[in-house]
Structure 1
């Protein structure tokens, strides 16, 4: 008899069970703005994920759990630990509606497994924001403002945009948003969830990424999101 629960489903279920005890704390952490602490981290990273109307509930869950899995993966933690300060700042933004990009999880400092697991639990627990049409330019603008207000300094600052479609209805064109981000010293990278849109990675390369060393990676589907994001985080951090 074939296995009714493929490995990807079993891993997701295992993740949810492991995180169940952390959810009360995560709800508190996600709802509380970061407190300015001064000091510095190696990298300020905004994960800007697609929450537009094209993302159904199951796809959205795969994205959130993919972020949580990637943030706590040993390869990502090793990359963080290899940096001079051994710490990065991470925030999660959801985008979609024109002018409606929202901070789903405010800044967390990640300097080891415990901090990564707290952030991952907050990512899974945060309520979904209200979004509609793709507005990547507004997502970049919102993320750049979030970086400008971060509680720590960092020489490296990155916006990591993931999505399954090109820009459609930004209040400000993505070309202008990415140009201004790059001018402020922010690198805009992209993760294209291609699925039924072959060639999306090339579109993101032409229209979304900007700044020093900017790059695009592709995920074949939502189920491939965690793997692609993990590889992308290791490259961005290390």
Structure 2
């Protein structure tokens, strides 16, 4: 599949030209899987991570989670990002095993956007345009970032967890209709990870600058082998989110009401 490299203007134009006139297709989730393909990610690491995404969408657990949603379908896109943004697999509706495997086939066949810096802020800006013009209407709109470092450029530095450019792009995504920005972080030698010796703590960076929104979360994979299971578990969590506390409270009150009514009927009998 030919990869499309899109600037902010060209992506906006592509959305306007390709958006169907018909009503948007309802789905449980619109999900962008955004993979860091900057210069620090070598070919072996890239291939292993790509195969992890492919395997996840072939797994029975992920397919079951998709089919078990209120609508029973999701829309997902796979992006690569460095300095620019590359659409590896464009928006794809999945509602059953056949469609999930077709998406996995497309992932396996997709090329790579190479080089440049780690442009997380630019990617999030593109994501806002895309989720609001892709022909789908998701109950939730989520970006899932996979990276092994801090944003490059736009005033951000490799050894600081505070990046105003990414924070601003994240906040704009959420204010513009996005539900959450999640992350799966990878270890990068002594630069980025969870060790005390790392220049930046991955979770501190994520909490400070990247993740946000309803139910937002982040996970860490120490090795590429860890990534395979981590991405599958993360997808299941994103597809089937835990109910919000208010929802749980209402459900509990409803059950209490049923029980109380039952006791009253028993007393009258």
Q: Shorter-chain TM-score: which interval?
A: 0.7 to 0.9
Deviations 1:93-149 (A, max 9, x none): 11111xx11211100001111111111111111111133111111111112221112
Corresponding position: 1:44 with 2:30: yes
Aligned residues: 208
Offset at residue 232 of structure 1 (A): 0.7
1:64 and 1:35 map into 2 onto residues whose CA distance is 28
- Structure 1 residue runs of 4+, over 3 Å off? 33-38
| Highest RCO, 1 vs 2 (Cα 8 Å, sep ≥ 6) | 1
Offset at residue 170 of structure 1 (A): 4.6
Q: Which residue of 2 aligns with 1:3?
A: none
Q: Which residue of 1 aligns with 2:70?
A: 84
Q: Which residue of 2 aligns with 1:69?
A: 55
Offset at residue 35 of structure 1 (A): 7.6
1:68 and 1:35 map into 2 onto residues whose CA distance is 27
Offset at residue 185 of structure 1 (A): 2.8
Offset at residue 195 of structure 1 (A): 4.6
2:118 and 2:48 map into 1 onto residues whose CA distance is 19
Q: Which residue of 2 aligns with 1:21?
A: none
Q: Which residue of 2 aligns with 1:19?
A: none
The question of whether the paired residues in 2 share the 8 Å contact of 1:191 and 1:217 is answered with yes
Distance 1:232 1:82, change over 3 A: same
1:81-230 map, 5 Å? 81-97=67-83, 100-170=84-154, 173-186=165-178, 187-196=180-189, 197-198=192-193, 199-230=201-232
Distance 1:131 1:148, change over 3 A: farther
TM-score by length of 1: 0.81
Offset at residue 87 of structure 1 (A): 0.3
Deviations 1:193-228 (A, max 9, x none): 125332312311221011111111111112211211
SS of equivalent residue, structure 1 residue 160: strand
Offset at residue 39 of structure 1 (A): 2.3
RMSD: 2.1
SS of equivalent residue, structure 2 residue 138: coil
TM-score by length of 2: 0.72
The question of whether the paired residues in 2 share the 8 Å contact of 1:185 and 1:211 is answered with no
The question of whether the paired residues in 1 share the 8 Å contact of 2:121 and 2:165 is answered with yes
